[in-house]
Chains A and B, each alone.
Chain A
């Protein structure tokens, strides 16, 4: 599983970083980016789904 942040859509709500800091980080401006090229380590799939389901801007997607 991979997560991807659409930098055009991200407005820095920082929900993904709060919910899944293993998968996302934020820059100084609060814009999110995925860690480890977006690869979701085994066992963190639910956290990835929660990050998607809590992004108000629909900026995060998952590919299996």
Chain B
């Protein structure tokens, strides 16, 4: 992965989450920063802060007064208050602030409750088996390309009632929104003005208005807040959010877990022998390889841990770094698949806790269970061929593994 930006000289004063070294291996960078300056600063993206300790990441996540969620993806383009009608934002509720946030969130929560998600487990399992069948007999399977990326994509596309054959379009949208964040302000602005993503959603909305379905799109079109239908921008923004946040996050988590197991035969054999350990291992993979770094905009000038934050500054909120804080987790740098006390923050903290966390956990658990049943033995076919995504969602995009089918 190359970056359009110059290489980082000093991480404490010039960090950049699209730098190829960060993309390949951010852990030593976070460890260095945590000990040097618990809140780092960079002039990049027009000024960006980054806390590293669990305590500080949590403090920002809980402080919705000094930090706004109006934009949660750091790039050269920062929305002004006039661009996005606060407090709704572009993709409610992730871009919403209180008090509107709670209303938009409450609307969606029942669709993602543990009991509703449980009902999707058989379909998810069938899908995993189907993907494994499709690559059966091959000596090398790509755990990301042939497996991980398809699972959340197909599940969320089914929940939204979008055409499954549009998978390539969704992958392109995700790349555009989340990965190409090192583009110039002009390039970023052109994307916003192009409206391709909005037009795609508008076409799906028109189809669902003509033919209502039992899916989330029709649910959003018929939902009411305070006795009124949702604003069309709210419906479209939430659809964009669910599609983007529901796919590459879990794809990253599944890929990272399989990447770990491919290199750790002890963990692999233990998990194959003790399938009951999978839910505990899932939490440890989420802690150690949390895919999602969030972001905030500073809402008002504010001194935080001795740093003078200015209104409009970006702040990267690295939950993955908080999950590696040795002050908070014993043996934070060790992956222990039987870690029983695990208050990790992979799904965030506070009012913006990932709404899809039950779905993500179910997908990750089922994906690992079915993979391990089929391929109890596997290892990296070519460690040099593993690539990682750039930006705020981190996961392996190619993980070729040598497989040996179960007897």
Contact = CB atoms under 8 A, between A and B. Distances in A.
User: Is chain B a partner of chain A in the same complex?
Assistant: yes
B211 interface: no
Contacts of B342: 53-54
Given A29-B113, A30-B109, A57-B349, A13 B340 contact: no
Interface string A17-47: 1100000001111100000000000000000
Contacts of B345: 56
A17 B114 CA distance: 9
A62 interface: no
Contact of A54 (B113, B115, B341): B341
B112 A11 contact: no
A54 B339 CA distance: 10
B349 A56 contact: yes
A30 B343 contact: no
Contacts, number: 51
Interface residues of A, number: 18
A44 to B, nearest CB: 15
Interface stretch (B190-198, B350-358, B366-374): B350-358
Contacts of A26: 113-115
B340, B341, B343, B345: most-surrounded residue (chain A CB, <10 A): B343
Contact of A13 (B112, B115, B279, B353): B353
B344 interface: yes
A11 B349 contact: yes
A56 B113 CA distance: 18
A50 B338 CA distance: 13
B305 interface: no
B341 A53 contact: yes
A55 B114 contact: no
Contacts of A54: 283, 341-343
A18 B279 contact: yes
Interface string B105-132: 0100110111100000000000000000
A14 B358 contact: yes
B340 A50 contact: yes
B344 to A, nearest CB: 7
A56 B344 contact: yes
A18 B112 CA distance: 15
Best-buried of A11, A18, A26, A29 by chain B (most CB within 10 Å): A11
Contact of B114 (A11, A30, A53): A30
B347 interface: yes
A17 B405 CA distance: 35
Interface of B: 106, 109-110, 112-115, 279, 283, 340-345, 347, 349-351, 353, 357-358, 361
Given A17-B114, A29-B109, 11 more contacts: A12-B109, A13-B347, A18-B114, A18-B361, A29-B110, A30-B109, A30-B112, A53-B342, A53-B343, A56-B344, A58-B343
> Which 3 pairs show the lowest CB-CB distances between chains A and B?
A53-B341, A11-B353, A29-B109
20 contacts: A11-B349, A11-B353, A12-B109, A13-B347, A13-B357, A14-B357, A14-B358, A18-B279, A18-B361, A28-B109, A28-B110, A29-B106, A29-B109, A29-B113, A50-B340, A53-B340, A53-B341, A54-B342, A55-B343, A56-B343
